Amino acid sequence: MDSSSVKSFLLGARASANSFLAGYEPLVLVSTPLIGLFVASTLQSLLSVVQEKGVKATLLGLFMSFIKLVPGVKKYIDAEKQKVVDKLQSGGNSKRENWRTELPGAGLGPGVLEQMKDEKRKDVAWQGKCSGTVYIGGSEFEGHFSLINEACSMFAHTNPLHMDVFQSVVRFEAEVVAMTAAMLGSKKKSSGGQICGNMTSGGTESILLAVKTSRDYMKARKGIKQPEMIIPESAHSAYDKAAQYFNIKLWRVPVDKEFQADVKAIRRFINRNTVLIVGSAPGFPHGIVDPIEELGQLASSFDICLHVDLCLGGFVLPFAQKLGYPIPPFDFSVKGVTSISADVHKYGLAPKGTSIVLYRNHGIRKHQFVAVTEWSGGLYVSPTMAGSRPGSLIAGAWAAMMALGEEGYLENTRSIMEVSKKLQKGIKDIPELFIIGRPDMTVVAFGSNVIDIFEVNDIMSSKGWHLNALQRPNSIHICMTLQHVPILDDFLRDLRESVKTVKENPGPISGGLAPIYGAAGRMPDRGMVQELLVNYMDGTC
């Protein structure tokens, strides 16, 4: 076809189009493309929500949104939600009535210490009664407690931000990081020999930093501007926080029948925007170690980051391995692991507010830092989320690790692993209960198919125990610490009695939270549950 034929064809096509469109109002012609664009955008958003939440949750959300438009319905729902919030906060508001809201006119001087002691005496009896919470054994006025308290007090005035002034604390932090890295594979040839990291305020900050660093590292390497990460549903809620803080799309994938991360399911969610996948060793809910080796292979094959959450297991699993327990690989010896978080303030027996984030090499870690060059206050660079940090806690962590040494941690690990196995046996001997999965460490979760496990939790609470309520499936767990070693028999006795009480007299006890936990678990509108939690927190802080 020559050029004149093409020109003739185009002129004919234009004339036909103009003739066809001449029958329409100009306003219609202008608005139709805009309406089409709006409809396409709406459909794209709807499809994105369906893909993220599923058809059922999306339809339910739309239904609830329409229902709330009915006059009086939203007001009724809000009133019912407030009743639940008031129930959750029961007793708390009355305690706040006498809380101080202004500075005293005249300072109390040293007399303030006596007032603090009076307040401290009002705390609940926690020794041996809490799931996790306090990991150091014995009395808080002697032994290891006294040691770290003294170490902290010696450095209460210090701040590692001033590196040139408080050189001792800077050294302590570097050595805590190096010692932790050695525990988690830095000395093994497969790690690459460049493991590095920093101390943080806790597991959540360690995870936040690992996520932020992975996002920026993958942006630099692959140019990813719409980052996504994939986590098993057993992964800690800190990843949800990180997703919100750092604008990362989060995919939470169901675990497999063994309550481990489902590697095949995670693989299906990986795409060109994926920056990070996650495994836990162990997961907080059920104490089960994810298949880190398989996740490492997956991360390597797709050239993405893998973070291993060792916040709970960092100071147990390395020693449990040395003691001969069947612990699967979990550290930097696994190819594909790019970062690890480990809490020193748990089984490391350091003061509260001490954790570690580690990276496979400096090329990854440098994306954690924030450097500012144009501030009138001078050149600024910060390694973690905090600027000023308490040197006292760093000193306390160093003191704890140095005081215990490898022998101390081995002895502690042997004690808590043994008491964990005894706990599992004791629970299995109660026919109404079953253990969730196969716990690898010191967290044991259990549920029931014949009684309401949340009612059991309420009875245990009335006996002074502070356990963790779980969902999917409904269950409770206890995280064993050195505090539990001498009182395991007391726990099992109270648990047997609580199960018997619920079985013989089913139904919630007065003041218990079982109805609320149960209703929240059954409530299909998860947005409403989220609103309940936010309203509860808003009234308590």
Helices 73-88 and 514-522 pack at an angle, to 10 degrees, of 140
The CA distance from 341 to 354, in Å, is 11
DSSP code, position 371: E
* Distance separating alpha carbons of residues 76 and 54, to the nearest angstrom: 28
- Is a pLDDT exceeding 90 seen at residue 329? yes
Q: Is the pLDDT of residue 3 over 80?
A: no
Percent above pLDDT 90 for the chain: 69
- Can you read off the two tokens belonging to residue 42? 């709406």
Concatenate the DSSP letters of all residues of 49-79 into one string: HHHHH-HHHHHHHHHHHHHTTSTTHHHHHHH
At residue 498, the pLDDT reads: 97
Residues 6+ apart with CB under 8 A from 430: 495, 496, 499
Is 96 or 125 the better-scoring residue by pLDDT? 125
Question: Once rounded to an integer, what is the mean pLDDT over residues 354-363?
Answer: 97
Of the candidate ranges 36-40, 156-160, 189-193, the one whose mean pLDDT is the lowest: 36-40
* The CATH classification of domain 153-404, taken from the options 3.30.365.10, 3.30.300.250, 3.40.640.10, 3.30.110.40: 3.40.640.10
Start-end of H helices in 136-288: 143-154, 167-183, 203-222, 238-246, 263-269
Q: What is the pLDDT of residues 241-298, one digit of tens each?
A: 999 999 999 999 999 999 999 999 999 999 999 999 999 999 999 999 999 999 999 9
Q: Could you tell me the residue ranges of all domains in the chain? A: 153-404, 405-540
Q: In what order do the strands lie in the sheet with 305-309?
A: 196-200, 355-359, 339-343, 305-309, 274-280, 228-232, 249-253
Beta-strand relationship, 443-447 and 468-470: unpaired
Over residues 8-56, the pLDDT tens digits come to 777 777 777 677 767 777 776 677 777 777 777 777 766 665 566 666 6
Of residues 379 and 154, the one with the higher pLDDT is: 154
Task: Work out the pLDDT band at 515, boundaries 50, 70, 90.
Answer: low
The Cα 315–Cα 178 span in angstroms is: 14
Q: Where are the beta strands (DSSP E) in 312-405?
A: 339-343, 355-359, 370-372, 380-382
- What is the reported pTM? 0.84
Fold for 405-540, please state it.
Aspartate Aminotransferase, domain 1 (3.90.1150)
Of the pLDDT bands very low, low, confident and very high (cuts 50, 70, 90), residue 449 is very high
pLDDT band at 68 (very low <50, low <70, confident <90, very high): low
pLDDT surpassing 80 at residue 428 = yes
Q: Residue 74: is its pLDDT beyond 90? A: no
- Which of 67-71, 130-134, 488-492, 502-506 has the lowest average pLDDT? 67-71
Confirm if 134 and 128 have CB atoms less than 8 A apart.
no
Has residue 493 got a pLDDT over 70? yes
Neighbours of 303 (CB within 10 A): 11
Of 416, 439, 427, 419, the C-alpha closest to 498 is 427
Rounded distance, CA 330 to CA 282, Å? 9
Q: What angle do CA 315, 135, 88 make, to 5 degrees?
A: 120
Residues 6+ apart with CB under 8 A from 85: 532, 535, 536, 539
pLDDT over 60 (residue 522): no
The average confidence (pLDDT) of the chain is: 89
Question: How confident is the model over 384-394, as a mean pLDDT?
Answer: 94
Half-sphere exposure of 18 (CA within 13 A, CB side): 6
Least trusted range by pLDDT, from 246-260, 403-417, 511-525: 511-525
Range scoring the smallest mean pLDDT among 139-148, 213-222, 243-252, 331-340: 139-148
What is the average pLDDT across 67-95?
64
